[in-house]
Amino acid sequence: MRFLRRYRDLIISVILLTVPFLFLNANLKNPNDLNPLDRFILQVSSPIQWVAEGLARSAWNTWDRYIYLVDTRAENASLRRDNSRLRNENRRFHQTQAEVRRLQKMLGFRETFDGELISARVIARDTNRFFRVVRLRIDRNETEVRPGMPVLTYDGLVGQVERAMGRYSDVRLIIDPTSSVDVVVQRTSSRGTLRGTGDLNKYACDIEYLRRTDEVRVGDLVFTSGAGRRFPAGILVGRITAIARRNFGLYQESEVTPAVDLSSLHEVFVQTNPPRADLDEDGRPQGTKRGRSGD
């Protein structure tokens, strides 16, 4: 025991050096030249080698996957940033493109309109509980516009200036129950007064005092007549979408859907000079058609 304690480290070192040598020597020999000791060593070492190889392979695969995932995660993050940037750029591009189209239409409308117009930007909208726009606010002050001035776009009639105060003005829309516009049905020259229905669920107007004998149809276009010089003649107001004829009475009821999408207005025009009443012999608006006809 004294001998073992004295030479313990030396014995362990010799064993640690000898065993791998024997394992290596046995593995390198030709199978036909193996002696009983070599076969014993191979038999003992095979399970150890199999376990060691499996552990080494698992460790390497784990490390390799970790490195791969780190690179993939970084690449995915970069791709997500690029994708978000491109989506924002694409959204801005489409917004700019839509604005350019609107401005081009406004410029073309202004060049062909027979009257003095000033442009205005919609800065606020009043909505009802169903999120329908019921009033607009524009960036023109009381020194630039006056109540009663017509408000329109290249698509058709919007309404009129209701009040001007300070740095902005409010616009009463044609769908407002207090709005009144003298109109003419293009196809039949039938005359009537357009009033807003005040319907909370849709944008709609009615033509009052339209004679029951007038053969108007769904789809007929309605224009301003110019009578009373409150609105310029020939401005598209909308299209008849419903008719209610009774077997009695003098008048029929016709519902009109506005030509202008009142929920998405960004820019409008205000006519600053008094409109002229330009009607031909049959009561049709004369001059250049203003607003989209939809034909």
Query: What CATH number does the domain located at 117-271 have?
Result: 2.40.10.350
CA atoms of 46 and 36, how far apart (whole Å): 15
For residues 233 and 218, give the distance between their C-alpha atoms in angstroms, rounded to a whole number. 22
pLDDT classification of 242: cutoffs 50, 70, 90 = very high
What's the pTM value of the predicted model, to 2 decimals?
A: 0.63
What's the pLDDT score for residue 188?
A: 93
Q: Does 254 score more than 80 pLDDT?
A: yes
Residue scoring higher pLDDT (186 or 253): 186
In whole angstroms, give the CA distance from residue 157 to residue 83: 42
Per-residue pLDDT, 287? 41
Q: Are 260 and 239 in contact (CB under 8 A)?
A: no
Q: Quote the pLDDT of residue 290.
A: 45
* Tokens standing for residue 206: 């009615």
Q: What is the distance between the alpha carbons of residues 259 and 156, in angstroms, rounded to a whole number? A: 6
Higher pLDDT, 218 or 63: 218
Average pLDDT score over residue span 23-48: 66
Domain with CATH 2.40.10.350 in the chain: 117-271
| pLDDT class of 22 with cuts at 50, 70, 90 | low
**pLDDT of amino acid 259:** 95
DSSP code of 271? E
244 or 12: which carries more pLDDT confidence?
244
Averaged confidence pLDDT in the chain: 82
Here the tokens at position 216 are 């108007």
Mean pLDDT, residues 196-213: 91
* Res. 145: pLDDT tops 50: yes
CA–CA gap between residue 43 and residue 261 (Å, rounded):
89
272 vs 286, more confident: 272
pLDDT of the residue at 169: 95
- pLDDT over threshold 90, residue 181: yes
Is the pLDDT assigned to residue 24 strictly greater than 80?
no
d(CA 122, CA 90): 25
pLDDT beyond 90 at 42: no
The residue whose two tokens read 């150890």 is: 48
Output the pLDDT for position 91. 87
Per the CB < 8 A criterion, the answer to whether 256 and 237 are in contact is yes
Please, what's the b/e burial string for 28-56 (b: 16 or more CB within 10 A of its CB; e: otherwise)?
A: eeeeeeeeeebeebbeebeeeeeeeeeee
